[in-house]
A and B are shown apart, each in its own frame.
Chain A
């Protein structure tokens, strides 16, 4: 496939969007390390957080090969407005029910996005999607198992999970904010678009939430939290980036 300059810019934006989501949610989830509800879950959740950051690194490396900065600069030295992550990923970790629910919504979107990307015309992206298939499958097993367990365990756990779902749902819809370049990407067969993804996602999460005894808000109450893909973020992103890049900024040229 031959790519012109305009398409190249669109593809880069698209890659930033995916990788920034992974980096930010990965960093957020890593904030549970040492605080997880039980030791085994602490290990599992931290490991999943590391996986996400690892996936973002891989995409930043692809971006670097397309002429962007090195991954460390991309991750630690950009301003909040240059990030393309969705609002869902930016929120503080809150209680464990929120973090689990956020991860549940995110993992399903990620898994389906990668499934679509596995047949993308952009070869490095198709390879990447295939490479992380198993990793993401485990992330989904993790969130589905917990959501189903806590949705039906007892009254307290059910109430907490339902309330976490209600708080998180519109944020989750923000993942699927369509970009101006969607048509261009569809045309060169890189990606079929966010609305296709959202439909697949809705179908998948509905069947799990049904098993968990949890209810999705009615469509009339859907107010997607858009803006993240255009660099308009919640108040939570900047302090988080500040903290995440703190050590890096002490000596950006340090060899690790």
Chain B
């Protein structure tokens, strides 16, 4: 079998009867999921995968594979095997989610009640003023 990575081909792995290569346990590294944090305090975002023999080497590899071209404050590596995921077969559990707009803050109609309260108590609506000022600037 021809692999995309020439390094694997150069290893000239012995094959079994089906023509499938036998990979020794030490040659089979695990994959690690890499999470990248741009600035301290921000969330870590998943950016990709590296192969490595252990977590320390995974960090070494992740630093250059995912940190060399962007601002980085911190990296995490997590063994892929440590991730528990939902099944794509069960993707239908999310199906009606987009319809549930009442779960979004923008779906709450309460401004009329807030304005009424402000008028009754003589509170200035600062946000409204800022909005008007902005509109004037844009014009």
Contacts and interface: CB of A to CB of B under 8 A. Distances in A.
Contacts of B64: 40, 43-44, 47-48
Given A37-B7, A141-B60, A154 B65 contact: no
A153 interface: yes
A236 interface: no
B26 interface: yes
A40 B51 contact: yes
B136 to A, nearest CB: 48
Interface in B19-67: 26, 29, 50-54, 56-57, 60-61, 63-65
21 contacts: A37-B7, A38-B7, A39-B5, A39-B51, A40-B52, A40-B61, A43-B68, A44-B61, A44-B63, A44-B64, A47-B64, A47-B68, A48-B64, A138-B63, A141-B60, A145-B60, A146-B57, A149-B53, A149-B56, A153-B53, A154-B26
Interface in A36-63: 36-44, 47-48
Nearest to B49: A40
Interface of A is mostly: helix
A38 B60 CA distance: 13
Nearest to A39: B5
Contact of A145 (B26, B51, B56, B68): B56
Interface residues of B, number: 17
Contacts of A149: 53-54, 56-57
Interface of A: 36-44, 47-48, 138, 141-142, 145-146, 149, 153-154
A207 to B, nearest CB: 17
A40 B49 CA distance: 10
Contacts of A153: 26, 53
Nearest to A148: B56
A149 B29 CA distance: 14
A44 B56 CA distance: 14
A38 B51 contact: yes
Nearest to B5: A39
B60 A44 contact: yes
B63 A40 contact: no
Nearest to B8: A38
Contacts of A47: 64, 68
Contacts of A146: 57
A196 to B, nearest CB: 30
A142 B29 CA distance: 18
A255 B135 CA distance: 51
Given A44-B65, A142-B60, 4 more contacts: A39-B7, A40-B64, A42-B7, A146-B57
A144 to B, nearest CB: 9
A39 B29 CA distance: 12
Task: Give the most central of B5, B29, B61: most A CB within 10 Å.
Answer: B61
